[in-house]
Amino acid sequence: MVGGVYISYPFCAQKCTYCNFASGVFPREMEPRYLAALRREIQQHEWQWRPKTVYLGGGTPSLMDPGELGALLDLIPGRPWSEATMEAAPGTLTAELARGWRECGINRVSLGVQSFVRSEIARTGRRHTAEIVAADVALLRECGIENINIDLIAGLAGQSAASWEESLEWIERLAPPHVSVYMFEIDEDSRLGSEVLLNGRRYGAPEVPCEDLTVELYEAAVERLRSLGILRYEISNFAGPGWESKHNLKYWRLEPYAGFGADAHSFDGARRWQNVETAAEYVERERPAAEATLANLEEEKFFVGLRLADGVAPTAEEWRRYDEPLSRFLREGLIERRGAAVRLTDRGVLLSNEVFQEFLGK
């Protein structure tokens, strides 16, 4: 069995306005306690397989002391891993850090850029500039890390078709092999989302683009990236051939992974479980995970697998079970057949939540 490892490091220098993750700025004295709890959880884990991928997220794990990082990764079997990703905030990188990551086994870095436009960046709470991102990309390449992802968000406050084009031009200029494009979700779990729902004015909330414009920005990114040979392989993820994220593909292909740290999720191929959400609660718990629940793999095959451009291949029994929604979505042009598989059309991607819902509880 081939699995992956996710390590949650929820500490940040500042809380971004769009962020709805269980991360933030915590008291300085909590970090050593958190890292001790993290080491303890990994040491107590009973490995059923040797990990092939590792992913450090959060949070801003690039802020972690290199010595602490090395001590953590020394506890993970399977090195050298086929892929080991570090999430990083632009402007926090140094040559010493990047070389230290390489020595620890990190061979992929995901930069949380979100935008290359100064006014948009400022409203998110981030402190980088386009030039800083360019310098970070050059530094990573000089240190031997070529596998670089850049995150973008469509729908940030003040964003327009013209400003989005500026960000896409920077993508073309920097030529990363992987790009993630997320559409901003308005929900109460982020400061900006909550402000929009309350009709407030902080964080540029009145200037958050309408849903139609956000969709147009996303579609513009799909076309621009395609012209650069960076193709969509999952709803929010685009890569040149061979540069797809090996770790993230495990989630969508229902392969096992072990999660460590606050709010980390795990899946062993049959059961799912989740750790306590907050860093404060995590450091207090001897056993941070909730009880495991059985996964409904038939349902998950569709509402997870359909996120992939390759789609899913229904069995004869699944065609019978899901005949009504599959036939309807084929007629409506939301899915299409490709050999033995079905996959979302471009229109289906934009209405994917409606499609996924039909496979729950059937």
- For the residues 45-69, what does the mean pLDDT come to? 93
Nearest alpha carbon to residue 267 among 305, 301, 294: 294
82 burial (CB, 10 Å; 0-12 / 13-18 / 19+) is middle
**For residue 1, what pLDDT is reported?**
60
Same domain, 309 and 160: no
CATH number at residue 12: 3.20.20.70
Question: Would 260 be classed as within a structural domain?
Answer: no
Residue that terminates a domain, selected from 196, 227, 252: 252
Sorting pLDDT into bands at 50, 70 and 90, what band is 24? low
Question: Would 276 be classed as within a structural domain?
Answer: no
What are the E-state strand segments in the chain?
A: 3-9, 51-58, 83-88, 108-114, 147-154, 178-183, 231-234, 237-239, 257-260, 265-267, 271-274, 293-294, 335-338, 341-344
Per the DSSP assignment, residues forming a β-bridge with 83 are: 53
Asked whether the predicted pLDDT for residue 14 surpasses 80, the reply is no
**For residue 266, what pLDDT is reported?**
97
| Side-by-side strand order, sheet with 3-9 | 231-234, 237-239, 178-183, 147-154, 108-114, 83-88, 51-58, 3-9, 257-260, 265-267, 271-274, 293-294
Residue that terminates a domain, selected from 252, 282, 314: 252
**For residue 287, what pLDDT is reported?**
80
CATH number at residue 357: 1.10.10
Same domain, 14 and 120: yes
How confident is the model over 300-331, as pLDDT tens digits?
999 899 999 999 999 999 999 999 999 999 99
Same domain, 315 and 243: no
Same domain, 31 and 162: yes
Angle of CA points 171, 152, 28, to nearest 5°: 120
Question: What is the share, in percent, of the chain residues with pLDDT greater than 90?
Answer: 80
- Statement: the pTM of the whole predicted model exceeds 0.85: yes
How confident is the model over 274-297, as pLDDT tens digits?
999 999 999 998 788 878 999 999
Question: Would 287 be classed as within a structural domain?
Answer: no
Give the sign of the dihedral formed by CA 226, CA 228, CA 232, CA 235: negative
Same domain, 237 and 335: no
Question: Would 43 be classed as within a structural domain?
Answer: yes
Sorting pLDDT into bands at 50, 70 and 90, what band is 18? confident
Asked whether the predicted pLDDT for residue 235 surpasses 80, the reply is yes
The DSSP output letter for 177 is: S
- Look at 327 and 14; give whichever has higher pLDDT: 327
Same domain, 91 and 217: yes
**For residue 290, what pLDDT is reported?**
79
Asked whether the predicted pLDDT for residue 156 surpasses 70, the reply is yes
Question: Would 66 be classed as within a structural domain?
Answer: yes
Same domain, 218 and 338: no
Same domain, 239 and 318: no
Same domain, 247 and 344: no
Residue with tokens 């020394």: 74
Nearest alpha carbon to residue 124 among 243, 198, 20, 27: 20
Residue that terminates a domain, selected from 252, 281, 304: 252
Sorting pLDDT into bands at 50, 70 and 90, what band is 208? confident
Domain ranges, residue 316: 296-362
What gap in Å lies between CA 317 and CA 341, rounded to an integer? 14
Same domain, 86 and 204: yes
Asked whether the predicted pLDDT for residue 174 surpasses 90, the reply is yes
**For residue 21, what pLDDT is reported?**
67
What gap in Å lies between CA 190 and CA 171, rounded to an integer? 26
Same domain, 241 and 340: no
- Count of the separate structural domains present in the chain: 2
Question: Would 270 be classed as within a structural domain?
Answer: no
